[in-house]
Amino acid sequence: MSVIISESANPLRGTVRVPGDKSVSHRALMFGALAVGETNISGLLEGDDVLATAAAMRALGAQVTRGEDGTWQVFGCGVGGLAEPGNVLDMGNSGTAVRLLMGVLAGHAFPATLTGDASLRSRPMERIMKPLRDIGATFVSAEGGRLPITMTGAVDPLPTAYEMPMASAQVKSAVLLAGLSVPGETVVIEPVPTRDHTERLLRHFGADVRVEDDPDGRRRVTLVGEPELEGRNVVVPADISSAAFPMVAALLVPGSAVTLTGVGTNPLRAGLMDTLRDMGGDLRLENSRDEDGEPVADVVVRAAKLRGVDVPAGRVPSMIDEFPVLAVCAAHAEGTTRMTGLSELRVKESDRLAAMAQGLSACGVALEETEDTLTIFGDGKAPAGGAEIDSDLDHRIAMAFLVLGMASRDAVRVAQAETIATSFPGFADMMNGLGANMSEAPS
């Protein structure tokens, strides 16, 4: 078990590029495997989660290789052309990978068994299985609709119009991916818009995807089934969810000025930047551009005095993965920060709402936690720190508390820090290069 100690940092200075976007990386590999011809992917996140997806695509018949220059090549099998795997598909810690892959497999009439690590096996999958049953897939799962799951794709997949009871980009994407093998149109109706990497990248590969908003704020996504996807070049933007950690650190450590290059600024993922600006954060976008349908920019961040805010519940889907590091930011701000509509955080890699509340309390931060809210009472001073945090194999919890240690009075120790490799290989080294003071405790 790895333990990393984070102590007071020097002013952070420099220009860095964080690893590639995890959401786009998973999708690029999967869509390349479902396309005809060659897909070349640059900037792919080479963390454990995405490498599990690459291994699964190989097991399903696609050719997936990494070139010496870091570019990944995928030679696909076409829509509906994947092959029955010869072994269990182990998706490690990645909820995104397993849920999207269930959508892909729902359109293939063969059995496959999916599993993951202890954390992934504890997470609910019924929300994915329900709409996929409507299409014709069948499932045998562990108790409570959890992994391991053996599923068999539909022999004669049926079109569906699925109205989602909750906002979830993973559920939406799973239904759309199943819809690739369905004759006719597959429709997903979301209560509020969620991240749209699937829609953008499917269009890039040649699918017909329509998006319409109704007056009530709901979004209707329609996919025309049985397209012939064609191999494409894909440039994966730097992950805004990973950029969040050096971004917040630069705001909190006095005297800091950091530039994060090539960050994906998809408006359905940019809720954290909006919130940090509301708090008084000094963030500026430069060199804004479009790469393969995704907006990208360089983010320039300078240290700033922050104030507490009320985070609108409607903003939650656009920053669901960033609440752990936002809570750290709120602990340093002056005034009260209220975050509502956070029940989804309880079914992530860990119960992130409980993990943040417990860890922040141990570091001397005043707060209140309910079933779906977190209220943090900041006084504008550095928190005490001084605690040891068990990450519970949650990479975002681990990195959030390492950031807290950079600007707290006493060092923070994070146990099970090896989990950071799932999304941000080399995190401590990159942060130390900017001016952080992180070290691995002796085993």
Q: Which domains does the chain have, with CATH numbers?
A: 3-20+238-440 (3.65.10.10), 22-223 (3.65.10.10)
Structure tokens at 232: 């494409």
Structure tokens at 57: 């695509």
Rounded average pLDDT over 262-291 = 96
End-to-end CA distance of the chain: 8
Q: How far is 394 from 117, CA to CA, in rounded Å? A: 12
Is the pLDDT confidence value at 296 over 90? yes
Measured at the CA of 171, the angle between CA 394 and CA 71, to 5 degrees, comes to: 65
Per-residue pLDDT tens for 22-81?
999 999 999 999 999 999 999 999 999 999 999 999 999 999 999 999 999 999 999 999
pLDDT at 26: 97
pLDDT at 442: 80
For 121-133, give the DSSP string: HTS--HHHHHHHH
For 336-384, give the DSSP string: EEEEE--GGGGGSSS-HHHHHHHHHHHTT-EEEE-SSEEEEEEESS---
Residue 390 is a catalytic residue = no
The H-assigned helical ranges of 35-94 are 48-59
Is the pLDDT confidence value at 399 over 70? yes
pLDDT at 443: 62
Of 48, 196, 321, 390, the active-site residue reads 321
Please state the pTM of the whole predicted model: 0.91
How big is the chain, counted in residues?
443
Per-residue pLDDT tens for 107-148?
999 999 999 998 899 988 999 999 999 999 999 999 999 999
Nearest CA to 287 among 260, 268, 266?
Answer: 260
Q: How far is 196 from 313, CA to CA, in rounded Å? A: 19
CA distances from 367 to 145, 321, 381 (A): 33, 20, 15
Is the pLDDT confidence value at 216 over 90? no
Q: How far is 248 from 428, CA to CA, in rounded Å? A: 15
pLDDT at 162: 97
Structure tokens at 378: 């900041």
pLDDT at 301: 98
- Sign of the C-alpha dihedral computed for residues 182, 185, 190 and 193 taken in this order: positive
Is the pLDDT confidence value at 240 over 80? yes
Q: How far is 439 from 442, CA to CA, in rounded Å? A: 9
Is the pLDDT confidence value at 348 over 90? no
Q: What are phi and psi of 257, to 5 degrees?
A: -150, 110
Is the pLDDT confidence value at 335 over 70? yes
Is the pLDDT confidence value at 93 over 80? yes
Is the pLDDT confidence value at 393 over 90? no
Is the pLDDT confidence value at 289 over 90? yes
Q: How far is 56 from 225, CA to CA, in rounded Å? A: 23
Q: How far is 152 from 48, CA to CA, in rounded Å? A: 26
Per-residue pLDDT tens for 303-316?
999 999 999 998 99
Q: Are the beta carbons of 112 and 140 closer than 8 angstroms?
A: no
